[in-house]
Amino acid sequence: MEKIQEEILELKKQLGSELLILGHHYQRHGIVELADKIGDSFGLAKAAAEATGVKSIVFCGVRFMAESAAILCRDDQKVYHPEPEAGCPMADMAPMEAVEEAWSILTSRPDYKARKMIPVTYMNSHAPLKGFTGKHGGAVCTSSNAKKVMDWAFTQGDLILFFPDQHLGRNTAKLMGIKEEEMRVWYPSKPDGGIDSLEGVKLLLWNGHCPVHMKFTVRDVEFVKKNFPGCLVAVHPECPKEVVDLADAVGSTTHLVDWIKDLPHKTRVFVATEVNLVRRMQQDNPHLRVEMLSRSLCPTMYMVDLFKLKRSLEKIIDKTEEAVPMPDEIKGDALKALERMLALA
Ligand code: 13P
Ligand code: SF4
């Protein structure tokens, strides 16, 4: 164990059971070793919602995850983010002004009249978008429950506006039997979002993506399938549909971690997700040949490091650390959208 990790353990001891450190699967190894719970976005949001006896939650992940914990935690709890600048480029692709504009354009179209649109936002979005979603009768989803949430949304309306990740939306729609011609991409920069007609349309996909998962290509999958006959390919659903279609397994980070464990000894499996997780899957499964489909690092996840975690704990002890701000006017509606998701779990 590194010296700084021992120092962090000492600070953890001082804070005792009042402290809960949550860490996403994409965090650096040193952080993962010290976190009280590691998980996917859904598992960590649930852990924050269920954290009894805890006063301080330190979230090692990106901002939307820390914000979600701040929405879900009790009023007497505080959430801290060791690096408040660690955002998510995908979440940035759906700014509130553009979302409000899209909603207003769509709902005032003549061909919208007899329709009812329900917003569904991926967890990977800013808190105000979760608030907007809650206010308009929609729900949050994560990569582990997108189908459940979209199935539910179709009991509430007949058209879903899904943001910000068009790939998770499209991959989920395929599982639900929604056809390509029943989907349209909403391009915020085009007049009318680039949508000519809503007739027969069930799903509107916001034009957003994850740069980390866009690095995995059909060529990568074809290459490994050709050169390593019998190998398996496991991917995250933020990958483009053409890549997901060729994969042997698809799912959230926790799903991928669990799925790989039971594979027969010596199976060669190529994983298409963030490199820190793939490295850990390699270490944790010495009975397998786990490989990266391609090396792809999430730079914002990487911004959280042991020094920042240590400083955050010291400041919590000194009572000088700033908690993740969550204004009441956002929290109320965002909580509705998150609770709708949790109720479906
Ligand atoms: P998971 O919910 O699968 O952990 O995904 C979060 C994420 O940011 C993937 O890019
Ligand atoms: Fe955002 Fe992609 Fe990083 Fe996940 S991997 S936090 S979606 S940029």
Residue type, 143: S
State the average pLDDT over residues 113-142.
Answer: 97
**What would the two tokens of residue 124 be?**
């990977």
Confidence check: pLDDT of 205 > 90: yes
- Would you call 215 helix, strand, or coil by DSSP? helix
pLDDT at 189 exceeding the cut of 80: yes
Question: Measuring from atom 6 of ligand 1, which residue has the nearest CA?
Answer: 41
Q: Rounded to whole angstroms, what are the CA distances from 184 to 1, 162, 197, 200, 270?
A: 51, 11, 9, 10, 31
Q: What percent of the chain has pLDDT over 70?
A: 100
Cα–Cα distance between 28 and 60 in angstroms, integer?
10
d(CA 186, CA 89): 18
pLDDT at 335: 97
What is the CA(304)–ligand 2 centre distance, in A?
14
The arithmetic mean of pLDDT across residues 317-336, rounded, is 97
Q: What is the mean pLDDT of residues 139-153?
A: 97
Atom of ligand 2 nearest to the CA of 300: 3
Q: Is the pLDDT of residue 88 over 80?
A: yes
Asked if residue 32 has pLDDT above 90, the reply is yes
Q: Checking DSSP bridges between strand 19-24 and strand 37-39, what pairing results, if any? A: parallel
- CA of 273 relative to ligand 2 center, distance in Å: 10
For the segment 30-51, the average pLDDT, to the nearest whole number, is 96
Distance of alpha carbon 140 from alpha carbon 184, whole angstroms = 20
Residue 1 has pLDDT above 90, yes or no: no
What pLDDT, on the 0 to 100 scale, is given for residue 297?
98
Residues with CB under 6 A from ligand 1: 25, 40-42, 124, 142-143, 210, 236, 238, 252-253
Mutation test residue for ligand 2: of 300, 303, 304, the one with most atoms within 8 Å of CB: 300
Statement: residue 91 has pLDDT above 90: yes
| pLDDT of 345 over the 80 cut | no
What domains are there in the chain, each with its CATH number?
3-87+301-343 (3.40.50.10800), 91-208 (3.40.50.10800), 216-292 (3.40.50.10800)
- Which of 26, 62, 300 to mutate to test ligand 1, by most ligand atoms within 8 A of the CB atom? 26
* Range 128-132 average pLDDT: 98
Q: Show the tokens assigned to 247.
A: 């994969």
Which of the four pLDDT bands, split at 50, 70 and 90, describes residue 245? very high
Residue 157 burial (CB < 10 Å; 0-12/13-18/19+)?
middle
Mean pLDDT of all residues in 157-165: 98
pLDDT at 316 over 90: yes
Expressed in angstroms and rounded, the spacing between residue 19 Cα and the centre of ligand 1 is 24
Q: Of all protein residues, whose CA lies closest to atom 2 belonging to ligand 1?
A: 41
For ligand 1, atom 4: residue with the closest CA:
40
Alpha helices in 157-269 (DSSP H): 166-175, 218-227, 241-246, 253-261
Residue 52 has pLDDT above 90, yes or no: no
Q: How far is the CA of 40 from the centre of ligand 1 (A)?
A: 6
Q: What is the mean pLDDT of residues 203-212?
A: 98
